[in-house]
A and B are shown apart, each in its own frame.
Chain A
Amino acid sequence: MKALCWNGIDDLRVERVPDPAILDPGDAIVRVRLSSVCGSDLPLISGRMPTMKPGDILGREFLGEVVETGPAVRHRGRGDRVIVAAAIGCGKCRFCQTGRSALCDNSNPQPEWTESAYGHGTGGAFGSGHAFGGYAGSHAEYVRVPFVDHNGIRVPDGIPDETAVFVSGAVPTGFAAADMARIEPGDVVAVWGCGGVGQMAMRCARLLGAAGVIGIDRRPDRLEAAQMKAGAEPLDDTRVDLFDALQAMTGGRGPDVCIDAVGMTAEGTEGAVLRAMVACCRKGGTLSVIGDHAGHMDRFPMGAAVNKGLTIRMGPPDGRHTAERLFGLIGSGDLDPSYLMTHKWPLDDAARGYHMFRTRTDNCMRVVFAP
């Protein structure tokens, strides 16, 4: 089959590789119909997150059709149209059973990487490097899905592929950012980063009762989408003093909730985002960190965070746990992520697609590959 492989820093190529096979009785093979880029891929590609090995297949946000199942699979079968979240859960451990599949105890075949770096091993994930198990990703014609009874999420009829594909990544991630912030009526929510996840966080914050939402970014096209599609007030932090602007928009209180939807960047600016969130957030407010982080962050303003009485919530989302609710919001017309797909390209053009996504050219929000 064809697959997009990482061959070294910034060296992506679509190659011929063997088709995946069932390796465990609980596996399924899924024929990929759509596979989206994700901001978290960029630190892997650039080597900033140095956990890739040459030949690894990228891709972690996808929709497809089950074509083969292992003998232990009970609840999924050939022909099922499914989405699969990046984080792989075993479905049986305490975390999977309580809606935190990304913390799965059993899905990572090489947990010693994160065990030694973080104290405890994290779960496995598709196309996310070897710290997360080294599972082959979805930018390919076929992908093997372990523990498919747990990880394969059936897509309800009537929701088109182009909408549903994002329920495997950007939608539940944005939703989790808003949900874990425990928004109260009247709250103003500021979201740093207006990419796919930020857009969904803004829209979901509205749905969860925010009185106002502010979207912070530097790209005019993304700010426009934040305003037109997600109902946010756009704020370009290269044009205004961010602190002053946020205080002016909130009667000097500061936003009640500040969401980090930026995460690790190629430039290493994540510390600046978190420091700005601490400074801008109202006293007693909440920081919700959904962006991708991997290593240490120095110069965290702990004094300000403590003395302002801030609550910090963070962590990877469980896309599987919230999918039903999110499909419900899509079905009722409250949520429509399809506008994130600014480009739909053949898999053959994937390397060029990543270049566009990374350089934010042609107003690219998300390029999605169709093998």
Chain B
Amino acid sequence: MIGTVRRSAGHGMAGTAERWTAIMGGVVLGLAGARRGDWLGLALAAAGGGLVLAGAGAVPLAERVRDAAAMRRAHPEPRTVQANVTIRAGREAVFRHWRNLSHLPRLMDHLDRVEVLSATRSRWVARGPGGVPVVWHSVIDKERPDELISWHTEEGADLPHRGSVLFRDAPGGRGTEVSFTLAYDPPGGAGGRAVAALFGAAPEQQAREALRRLKCLMETGTQPTIAGQPRGGRAPGDRKR
């Protein structure tokens, strides 16, 4: 049940949310006037547009890929993405959940499955742009029980990147602090594409989302959803009443 709960428009909503932020962030409260339909338009654009770059003014991914060379010049250093969350659960339980890598697709929309091959090796299958599967092998290179897991893609992989998760006791008995870090080549490079495959086009947001889901699963055993709830509104010409 839980594993099948998926958010409908993960990264797509990001664009909408950021526009909302821009609106709430200043000027426009007094504008009072999102014109009728504006928000529907945004929502449709976000949901239907598929891979839309949050934070880059809704640039379709295709354009982003085309600009890869330019991006490489602009960001020659490896990139790091980090997300942090505090979970109301013991360090051991949270560690155990993550250490079972086959759980990870529950946390990351773009990840189809992770096959555990040995104590340290695993095979990851993600749904890349356009639904094309992207496959790579990872090796856990460091593990300290209840404290740390770090891994990297195998030597010679097309899409190299590194990841780590740190688990710490929050002060005052307030649960477990989790830090999730990914390092990869600039967005235009191969590693960048792997991260895009893994996390969609807004890695920071999707890393946060992964930790949010981990927290919600650990704390409540489920994920909140509104997918499938009733709503009104009729299509043009629809006469139902």
Within 8 A of A (CB), among B177-236: 205, 208-209, 212, 215-216, 219-234
Q: Please name all residues of chain A whose beta carbon is closer than 8 Å to the beta carbon of B220 when the two chains form the complex.
A: 26, 90-93, 106, 147
A237 at the interface (CB under 8 A from B): no
B229–A19 touching, CB < 8 Å: no
Contact of A3 among B175, B226, B232 (CB under 8 A): B232
Check A20–B229 contact: CB distance below 8 A. yes
Docked CA distance A97–B30 (Å): 37
Report whether B17 and A25 are in contact in the complex, using a CB–CB cutoff of 8 Å: no
B230 touches A20 (CB 8 A): yes
B56 on interface, CB distance cutoff 8 Å: no
Contact between B43 and A53 (Cβ–Cβ < 8 Å)?
yes
Per-position 1/0 for A96-111, Cβ under 8 A of B: 0100000001111111
- Is A7 touching B224 in the complex (CB atoms < 8 A)? no
Q: What bracket does the count of chain A residues touching chain B fall in?
A: 35 or more
Q: Are B228 and A5 in contact (CB under 8 A)?
A: no
| CB pair B229 A144 closer than 8 Å | yes
Residues of A within 8 A of B108 (CB): none
Shortest CB distance B209–A (Å):
8
Tell me if B's interface is mostly helix, strand, loop or mixed: loop
Indicate the member of A5, A54, A136 with the most B CB atoms within 10 Å: A54
Ordered by A's residue number, 16 sampled pairs between the chains whose C-beta atoms are within 8 Å are: A9-B34, A9-B35, A26-B222, A54-B233, A56-B231, A57-B231, A93-B219, A105-B216, A106-B216, A106-B220, A107-B224, A109-B224, A109-B225, A109-B226, A147-B220, A295-B23
The answer for the CA separation of A159 and B231 in the assembled complex, in Å, is 32
Question: Which residues of the other chain, B, contact A24 by a CB distance below 8 angstroms?
Answer: 5, 222, 224-225
**Are the C-beta atoms of B88 and A93 separated by less than 8 Å?**
yes
Q: Chain A residues in contact with chain B, CB under 8 A?
A: 1, 3, 5, 7-9, 11, 13, 15-21, 23-26, 46-48, 50-57, 72, 90-94, 97, 105-113, 115-117, 121, 124, 130-131, 133-136, 140, 144, 146-147, 266, 268, 294-296
The listed residue (A8, A15, A113, A121) touching B37 by CB distance below 8 A is A8
Chain A residues with Cβ under 8 A from B36's Cβ?
A: 8-9, 11, 47
> Which parts of B35-91 form the interface with A (CB within 8 Å)?
35-40, 43, 86, 88
Residue of A nearest to B13 (CB): A110
Count chain B CB atoms within 10 A of each CB in A24, A25, A57, A115 and give the residue with the most. Answer: A24
Question: Which residues of chain B come closer than 8 Å to A124, judged between CB atoms?
Answer: 224
User: B1 at interface (Cβ–Cβ under 8 A)?
Assistant: yes
Q: How far is the CB of B229 from chain A (nearest CB, A)?
A: 5
